Amino acid sequence: MIPPATRPPLRLLLAAPRGFCAGVDRAVRIVEEALARYGAPVYVRHEIVHNRHVVDGLRARGAVFVEELSEIPDDGRPVIFSAHGVAKSVVSEALSRRLVTLDATCPLVTKVHREVERQHARGRHLLLIGHAGHPEVLGTMGQLPEGAVTLVQDVAEAEAVQPPAGAALAWSSQTTLSVDDTAGIVAVLARRFPDIAGPAKEDICYATSNRQAAVKALVARGAERVIVVGAQNSSNSRRLAEVAERAGAAGALLVEQPESLDAGGFAGCAAIGLTAGASAPESLVQAVIDRLRRRFDLAVEEVRVAEETIAFRLPPGLAPRTARDTLAAD
């Protein structure tokens, strides 16, 4: 640790909004409340959100994470579907096994599921903008019969895609994509297929858009480099790093664990930016700030581009108990 009197000055521009979104907060609360109501173990299909710190914390409290329902014994314990959503085949499998299920799918992902169902019911073939293999994409594609969806990952694929001849078309997107990249892909699809239908409301969620706008504001305010607190498998976190570099930052660093950050790497910078993906808790942001303080005379400035007041309700039966509920039970 450098003695306080000799630490070089550094402006830290702190993005706002950052970190947990309403969908992630709801998903984590569902697991916590399920553990409180049912006790351990509670099974969770896939990581509830893409953040190792969050997952490890829930695992320590009794959550058991699996990739497939086949890994879950028929012991009557609850199983939770992750915030990314699941295919209809997964729901059907759970019903056939009479599993007790709790759905932590983000309501904004559910909105996309219902939208693609409506477009399919109108006889349209769906072009889904997203990343192959991402659980949200797998869940969205799994809302429709096989062959009803074609995945488009980038502008090159938008230029080359060949949907079924004569089919009416609609497009939808993963909720955690780059706003700018998605706009470019949609422009290509609209040029090639002028009659293509789009969603009634934008599929990219408010939290993704706000966090990307905040990162652009950090760079505009002078951040030479940007730290993104988030996991490597977190789509929205990776997009934040890309947005920072495209906005003009000399570099963007995706940090999953604060202790892995080499603060000395920012020597010579006058100002850097800090944000967090939608699945990264604020405690990790503060741990990064603490780590930087050991190396620099830090001046923290918040850069806010939006206020977020959205909150999602827990599923029926999982809402936290009130004092009145407790008295009634007694």
β-bridge mates for residue 317, sequence order: none
Q: Is the peptide bond before 315 cis (omega within 30 degrees of 0)?
A: no
- Which position among 68, 136, 146, 282 bears the catalytic label? 136
Question: Do 169 and 127 form a contact (C-beta atoms < 8 A)?
Answer: yes
- The 3-state DSSP class for residue 50 equals coil
CA–CA separation, 294 vs 279, rounded Å?
Answer: 26
Instruction: Specify whether 307 is catalytic.
Output: no
Q: Which residue, 238, 218, 214, is CA-closest to 228? A: 238
What is the residue whose two structure tokens read 């039970």? 329
Residue 321 per-residue DSSP state: P
Specify the 3-state DSSP secondary structure of 2: coil
- What is the b/e burial string over 254-282, where b = at least 16 CB atoms within 10 angstroms of the residue's CB? bbbebeebebeebeebebbbbbbbbbbbe
For residue 267, which amino acid is it? A
Q: Which residues are catalytic?
A: 136
